[in-house]
Amino acid sequence: MFSTLFESEKIPDELLMESFLGYVSKDERELINTAIKDDDLNDSQEKEWLDFLERFDCRTIPKKEDRQTIILEFAHKEMVQIAQFIIDSWRKPFKENLANRDAFSSMESLEEIYQNARPRVKRVLKLIRSEPTSNSQRAVLSVLKRYIRGLDDEKLTMFLRYCTASTMICVESIKVVFTDLDGAARRPIAHTCGSVLKLPTTYQSFPQFRQEMNNIFSSQYWDIDIA
């Protein structure tokens, strides 16, 4: 979006780095942060670092002071150069339709849109909408909010994606409804097309609820209904 509306050369290094860190895997992100901050890598990290450089066709081993520069070069290649054809194709219609709007008139205003869409605990809690009609429904709704308050950034993003199919806040609300599923059939179910989360009212404790939710996020398969 930034490269489409504005010249790619004007994109700040901080924004380019942030975008690239969100693009790579969690392990690669941790490796990059370690490589930039630490002078010496241990044997295992050194091997991972060399493998990482090779994956991005880097044939030299940069000095510690040059590592961030190399990462920025990777970022520009992956985030801008590879997508250049699409960027060029979109630039004219984007500028014609969006450039005159205040929200898209500058990098600062566009960055503000992205910052406001990032999942934060208070923002996600404000999305929750529900109309409980019984004590058991009110109890599980309270447990859900307690669970959300305890999430770190990574799991909060996973929760948002589970409910909305997006890692950014792009809906006005997440509607919570209730079921009486119990036993082996008990589990939360998300309808991402409508941002609806179905929660059983049969949990006996907060640790029980937390464990089942965490099991969902650690699984390769999520119980999501498209209906």
**What 8-state DSSP symbol labels residue 145?**
H
* 71-80 pLDDT per residue, tens: 999 999 998 8
- Tell me the C-alpha distance between 107 and 30, whole Å: 28
Please state whether the predicted TM-score (pTM) of the whole model is above 0.75.
no
Residues 8-16, mean pLDDT to the nearest whole number: 79
The mean pLDDT value for 114-125 works out to 93
Instruction: Quick: pLDDT tens for 158-201.
Output: 999 999 999 999 999 999 999 999 988 899 999 999 999 999 99
Q: Tell me the torsion sign for CA atoms 194, 170, 201, 137.
A: negative
**Where in the chain are the domains?**
1-116, 121-225
| Of the candidate ranges 89-93, 120-124, 206-210, the one whose mean pLDDT is the lowest | 89-93
Q: Which pLDDT belongs to residue 141?
A: 97
Which pLDDT belongs to residue 108?
81
Look at residue 224 and tell me whether its pLDDT is greater than 70: no
What pLDDT band is residue 227 in, cutting at 50, 70 and 90?
Answer: very low
Kindly report the average pLDDT of the chain as a whole number.
88
**Residue 5: which of 130, 137, 82, 103 has the closest Cα?**
103
Q: What is the pLDDT of residue 119?
A: 94
For the chain, give the percent of residues with pLDDT over 70. 95
Q: Looking at per-residue confidence, does 206 or 106 come out higher?
A: 206
Selected from 3.30.2410.10, 3.30.70.260, 3.60.40.10, 2.40.30.10, the CATH number assigned to the domain covering 121-225 reads 3.30.2410.10
Q: Chain-centre distance of CA 41, in angstroms?
A: 28
How far from 129 is each of 32, 65, 75, 141, 173, CA to CA, in Å?
Answer: 39, 49, 39, 10, 6
